[in-house]
Amino acid sequence: MILKSGKVSFFQLRLKNYSQNKKVIIGEKIKNICKKNKVKFIINDDPLLALKLDADGCHLGQKDMNIKNAKKILGKKIIGITCHNSIDLAKKAIKAKADYIAFGAFNQSKTKKTKHAASINILNKVKKFTKTPIVAIGGINADNYKNLLLNNANFLAISGYIWKNKKYKPLQALEKLK
DSSP labels for the chain?
-TGGGS--SEEEE--TTS-HHHHHHHHHHHHHHHHHTT-EEEEES-HHHHHHHT-SEEEE-TTS--HHHHHHHHTTSEEEEE-TT-HHHHHHHHHTT-SEEEEE-SS--SSS---S---HHHHHHHHTT--S-EEEESS--TTTHHHHHHTT-SEEE--HHHHS-SSS-HHHHHHT--
Of 82, 106, 85, 84, give the one whose Cα is nearest residue 96: 82
Q: 21: pLDDT confidence band, cut at 50, 70 and 90?
A: very high
Q: Is the pTM of this model over 0.85?
A: yes
How does the average pLDDT of the chain come out, rounded? 93
Q: 7: pLDDT confidence band, cut at 50, 70 and 90?
A: confident
Largest CA distance in the chain: 44
Q: What is the pLDDT of residue 16?
A: 85
Q: 116: pLDDT confidence band, cut at 50, 70 and 90?
A: confident
Residues of the chain with pLDDT > 70: what percent? 96
Find the radius of gyration of the CA atoms of the chain: 16
Q: What is the pLDDT of residue 111?
A: 63
pLDDT digits (tens, 9 = 90+) for 141-168: 999 999 999 999 999 999 999 999 999 9
Of 88, 121, 112, 69, give the one whose Cα is nearest residue 79: 69
> For the residues 124-141, what does the mean pLDDT come to?
96
Cβ burial, residue 113 (10 Å; 0-12/13-18/19+): exposed
Query: What is the residue extent of each domain of the chain?
Result: 83-175
CATH topology of domain 83-175: TIM Barrel (3.20.20)
pLDDT digits (tens, 9 = 90+) for 51-72: 999 999 999 999 999 999 999 9
Q: What is the pLDDT of residue 113?
A: 66
Contact 123, 102 (CB under 8 A): no
